[in-house]
Structure 1
Amino acid sequence: MPRSVRVRSELISEVKSALLRNGYVRQTDLAEYLQISQSTISSFLNGRPVDYLNFLEICRALGLEWQKLADLKLESEKDELPSSITRTILENNKETQETSSSHFCLEHPSGQVPLDSAFYIKRSPIEERCYEQIHKPGALIRIKAPRQMGKTSLLARIIEQANYQGDSTTVLDFQLAAQDIFRNLDKFLRWFCASVSLSLNIPNKLNDYWDLAEIVGSSMACKAYFEEYLLPTINKPLTLGLDEVDKVFEYPEIYRDFFGLLRALHEEGKRREIWKKLRLVIVHSTEIYVPLDINQSPFNVGLSVELTEFNSKQTLDLAQRHQLDWSKTDVEKLMALVGGHPFLVRLTLYHIANMDVTLTQILQNATSSSSIYADHLRHQSIILKQQPELLEAMRNVVHNNFAKLSTVDKFKLHSIGLVKLYGDDIEARCNLYHEYLQIYL
């Protein structure tokens, strides 16, 4: 049984015309109707392989006969789709939905939301703008949001989109780099180049290029490594995701030159063909509180994306995906406690759907040691305890003593997700945090 199926090349134009004929003006309209990724729809329409269940579902939505369209020679010329699966997918919508609900499976919220998750909530038009941008030569996308707001999940979907369009892709998470890596710029840039090589499965040839560092500096050696070796070797666009770049802010001996280098590489993409192949996605948790020359910063160019909290409509949608029969009143009660914080909303809905607890019990017991939030709140308090200056800053927030807060402290508290910033004003991100910290502090 083949895992993937694609549209026969001679029928691609017929498939594309069926999109408009069935009332789907954009690919994203069909993707939203079927609750599958836009990149899967794009692959289907352009004759690239897609999962056979998705293939059959898209054909049904477009009123097309899958047997006529399918090229089944991807993995086995002898395999055929089982008739039982065919019948299931081609039946009417009601029966399909009943089949899906029988396979409903909860998903504990932890880290990145999987690419195939039914619990990923789009924050349109953010996704669509990112997918459009990453298609452009020399693209640069900046994603900003506090911890646990969905940055890495969005990054993963941008990377998936880049994969579908044929790019080489890789993601570097700066939080995973050893402390010693940040000792000086030379060591850091060697790690940077070597990590990209390793993730792309390309032999490390740093020594062939790093002799230049003694003469022209490490930044130029890094640039030469990409320009003369990495990009020509892969011979196709490279989409490079840089996650948690805030880590670099802590090292003055590194951040100016590194961020200046990223800006320079982006500018090169406007002039030279080789650098048009590099597409950057930079992810960070807070405002840029380190001094950077406006002409050497990558944080004021490209597409800027700021992830916000879920609104009430999105929260209700997520509750329904957890098969909870919630009203707007239920949503309002939850949001009065945790706002639209994506992680806290998902955590709440998971435990209620799993019948661990009721919404009423949660509201009555939110900050206790037996609460579903206890581990999360304890983790936040540990972060504060490890950084006494932030502990004191948060105490000032809780007691409305904003005069004692430095700009750096404000941004760091925002980065870990404990506060909201409104210009010069600041407050606890949600009532749950405010109530807990009043006790803890």
Structure 2
Amino acid sequence: MARSLRVAPEYISKVKSALQHNGYPSQQSLATDLGLGLSTVKSFLSGKPVDYLNFVEFCNKLGLDWQDIADKRPETQPKSTNKEASPFITGAPITQPRYFFGREKELKRLFNLLKRHPLQNAAIIGKKRSGKTSLLHYLKTITTTPPEQLRYGQKSDWLPHPETYKWVFVDLQDARMQSREGLLKHILESLNFKVPAPCDLDHFMDVVSENLSSPTVILLDEIGAVLNPGSELDDTFWNSLRSLATNQTRGNLAFVLSSPESPSNLARSTGHDSPFFNIFAYSANIGAFTESEAQELIASSPIPFADEDVKWILTHSQCQPLLLQILCRERLFTLEEGENDDGWREEALRQINPFTDLLEPKK
């Protein structure tokens, strides 16, 4: 099934008539009701391609059968490209917000810490492959992503003035981020601050403390990667970052990090005693999705799954995000190939076997 659909030319007049017949005096009123941009509504009403999910929502609101009015001519369907996002993503962090599901409770708490002054620090704790990196990316992007690039009804108004925020994502597994100069330069460039020469800790502190005047969140992914003995990012470095956040930036700076365990425990186990690791008063411990979150992810498939397949996926994934993604990917692949029996399940179990450490032991 195409990821985008358009109204067939012979139905465009019917679609436009349905607007007022269903109580929408203008295109803007429909856009507002659906939480989409006016440009998306105009594209739909003029027969231009729109996202599949948005197309279905338009039809539901206008009392139309989307399968009847969709243009079925193969040559008119948008051609897939290498840049088309997969509906189920495995092995890589999710960077497009519309494909991120779950974590509603954690998002509420995290954004509550970041929407008030002074900004407060937080840690995201979870096993490998639990979705920590995806959650960091989502924090960075969701509040400024245009509505037409989100799912229908997907919440994005987490912050009162998101346009004033600056976000810096740091992948600490990147060797370039494991040197002082490389990390400091990356932060300054991400903030559009002038990089001093030399770019050392003293000059970095001066530049940030003098210029940072808007809410800023630095996202440190996999903090444990740089806490090894001999690292350039030693306690002096972390002490300086703590001072920057607590005393030098007037409450405008916060850190959110990801780690397999609490920052203070991780620091102690690696021989660090900087008070930086004690400023994370809130920890979001992430693991399995709730069943409703898992159901929402499964329901996003462009080809609906049978109820028995949904139940099987929930059972064998235990609602673990990575396992859900893998099992859904396998089922979707076979449906796209026209295979409607249960033969896919054996291969699906083989695909999740390397990650069964995520599962809870059977009682």
Which residue number in structure 1 is paired with residue 257 of structure 2? 282
* CA deviation profile, 1:388-422 (whole Å, cap 9, x unmatched): xxxxxxxxxxxxxxxxxxxxxxxxxxxxx7646xx
**Matched residue type, 2:87:** E
Structure-2 change in CA distance of 1:202 and 1:366 (3 Å): same
Which residue number in structure 1 is paired with residue 229 of structure 2? 251
Q: CA deviation at 1:337?
A: 3.2
Which residue number in structure 2 is paired with residue 191 of structure 1? 182
Structure-2 change in CA distance of 1:152 and 1:325 (3 Å): same
Q: CA deviation at 1:152?
A: 1.9
CA contact (8 A) 1:168 1:238 kept: yes
Q: CA deviation at 1:126?
A: 1.3
From 348, 351, 354, the equivalent of 2:333 is 354
- Residues 32-71 of structure 1 aligned to structure 2 (within 5 Å): 59-61=32-34
Q: Secondary structure at the match of 2:104?
A: coil
Which residue number in structure 2 is paired with residue 341 of structure 1? 320
* CA deviation profile, 1:129-171 (whole Å, cap 9, x unmatched): 2222222323212111222222222212211257624122221
- Runs of 4+, deviation exceeding 6 Å: 86-91, 99-105, 292-295
Distance 1:315 1:251 in 2: 40
* CA deviation profile, 1:187-219 (whole Å, cap 9, x unmatched): x32222111122334332042x74xxxxxxxxx
CA contact (8 A) 2:132 2:258 kept: yes
2:75 equivalent to 1:84: no
**Matched residue type, 2:206:** E
Q: Secondary structure at the match of 2:342?
A: helix
Identity of aligned residues (%): 13
Which residue number in structure 2 is paired with residue 159 of structure 1? 140
CA contact (8 A) 2:113 2:119 kept: no
Which residue number in structure 2 is paired with residue 213 of structure 1? none
Distance 1:123 1:351 in 2: 24
Q: How many residues align?
A: 288
Which residue number in structure 1 is paired with residue 18 of structure 2? none
Which residue number in structure 2 is paired with residue 98 of structure 1? 66
Which residue number in structure 2 is paired with residue 34 of structure 1? none
Distance 2:30 2:206 in 1: 45
From 60, 82, 94, the equivalent of 1:113 is 94
- Residues 249-328 of structure 1 aligned to structure 2 (within 5 Å): 249-251=227-229, 253=231, 254-268=233-247, 274-287=249-262, 288-291=265-268, 296-299=275-278, 301-322=280-301, 323-327=303-307
More helix by share: 1
Aligned Cα root-mean-square deviation (Å): 4.2
Which residue number in structure 2 is paired with residue 439 of structure 1? none
Q: CA deviation at 1:281?
A: 1.5
Q: CA deviation at 1:86?
A: 10
Distance 2:112 2:304 in 1: 34
Distance 2:242 2:165 in 1: 21
- Residues 1-16 of structure 1 aligned to structure 2 (within 5 Å): none
Distance 1:430 1:58 in 2: 48
Which residue number in structure 1 is paired with residue 346 of structure 2? 364
* CA deviation profile, 1:105-130 (whole Å, cap 9, x unmatched): 8524142224342x421222211222
Unmatched 5+ stretches in structure 2: 1-26, 49-54, 72-76, 79-84, 145-161
Unmatched 5+ stretches in structure 1: 1-52, 73-79, 183-187, 211-221, 378-416, 421-427, 432-441
Q: CA deviation at 1:343?
A: 1.5
Q: CA deviation at 1:321?
A: 1.5
**Matched residue type, 1:304:** S
Q: CA deviation at 1:342?
A: 0.8
* CA deviation profile, 1:316-351 (whole Å, cap 9, x unmatched): 222221143443x54453344332221221121122
CA contact (8 A) 2:205 2:244 kept: no
